């Protein structure tokens, strides 16, 4: 596990056991770096991870504080709606497996061309993955990525973390994302891989991910089991 995740997990445990209490100011980054025998950059990455998870917040010029709902957030089910991948979201707390259902390179259809702002001759990776959490089917991903923007995707990458590959191996910085969430009925793949019944609702998340430059690099539709996720939106003051 990377050092920053270890630091984040230790701070998370302190929040869960009330070592750091609600509205309490955490030690400054230099103090935490000394305590955990690491760098200030590593501590900042750990705090960024906890901020994304909704456990802490930072007041510029003042410090980082424990949120009032931090304990609930630390113990809640997996959340979606943030600009992070599932591997980062679960943070090694739950066993995560990825089963590749389909993986090929082809040309995009009309909807994919519009969403990714590419032409019909642009090759794209197309993959479907079943994500399994704690031995239970969690989500079914249907994703398209332009090959020239994100080269080198392999089955090995798909079985691990695509976003981690993009960030670490390619050095690409993510920008914004656009997501549409809707309720849907299960299709045949949902019934087969997510173990859904005919009358089970599905939470469908249609998403376009953008680079920092504003270029779209991923278009996906992800189906989630209704009993495995919740939506969480955090609005922060600018």
Does residue 103 surpass a pLDDT of 90?
A: yes
Residues 67 and 173 in one domain: no
Q: Quick check: 230 and 77 in contact, CB under 8 A?
A: yes
Does residue 60 surpass a pLDDT of 90?
A: no
Is 222 within a domain?
yes
Mean pLDDT to the nearest integer, 220-232: 81
Does residue 40 surpass a pLDDT of 50?
A: yes
Which of 17, 51, 75 terminates a domain? The answer is: 75
Is 236 within a domain?
no
Is 130 within a domain?
yes
The whole-chain average pLDDT of the chain stands at 85
Give 205-217 pLDDT, tens digit per residue.
Answer: 999 999 988 899 9
Is 237 within a domain?
no
Domain that holds residue 174: 80-231
Structure pTM?
Answer: 0.64
Give 181-199 pLDDT, tens digit per residue.
Answer: 999 999 999 999 999 999 9
Residues 160 and 211 in one domain: yes
Q: What is the pLDDT of residue 207?
A: 93
CATH of the domain at 203: 3.40.1410.10
Residues 45 and 104 in one domain: no
Residues 51 and 101 in one domain: no
Higher pLDDT, 51 or 101: 101
């Amino acid at each position: 596990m990377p050092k920053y995740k270890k630091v984040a997990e230790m701070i998370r445990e302190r929040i869960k056991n009330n070592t750091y209490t609600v509205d309490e100011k955490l030690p400054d980054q230099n103090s935490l770096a000394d305590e955990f025998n690491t760098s200030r950059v590593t501590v900042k990455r750990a705090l960024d991870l906890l901020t994304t998870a909704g456990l802490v917040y930072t007041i510029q010029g003042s410090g980082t504080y424990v949120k009032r709902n931090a304990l609930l957030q630390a113990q809640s089910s997996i959340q979606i709606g943030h600009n992070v991948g599932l591997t980062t979201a679960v943070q090694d707390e739950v066993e995560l497996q990825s089963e590749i259902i389909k993986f090929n390179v082809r040309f995009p259809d009309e909807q994919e061309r519009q969403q990714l702002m590419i032409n019909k001759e642009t090759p794209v990776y197309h993959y479907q993955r079943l994500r399994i959490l704690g031995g239970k089917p969690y989500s079914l991903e249907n994703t398209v990525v332009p090959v020239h923007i994100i080269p080198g995707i392999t089955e090995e990458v798909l079985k691990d973390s695509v976003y981690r590959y993009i960030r670490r191996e390619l050095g690409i910085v993510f920008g914004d994302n656009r997501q549409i969430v809707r309720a849907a009925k299960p299709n045949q793949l949902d019934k087969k891989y997510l173990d859904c019944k005919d009358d089970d609702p599905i939470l469908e998340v249609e998403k376009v991910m953008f680079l920092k430059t504003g270029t779209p690099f991923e278009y996906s539709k992800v189906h989630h089991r209704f009993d495995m996720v919740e939506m969480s939106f955090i609005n922060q003051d600018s």
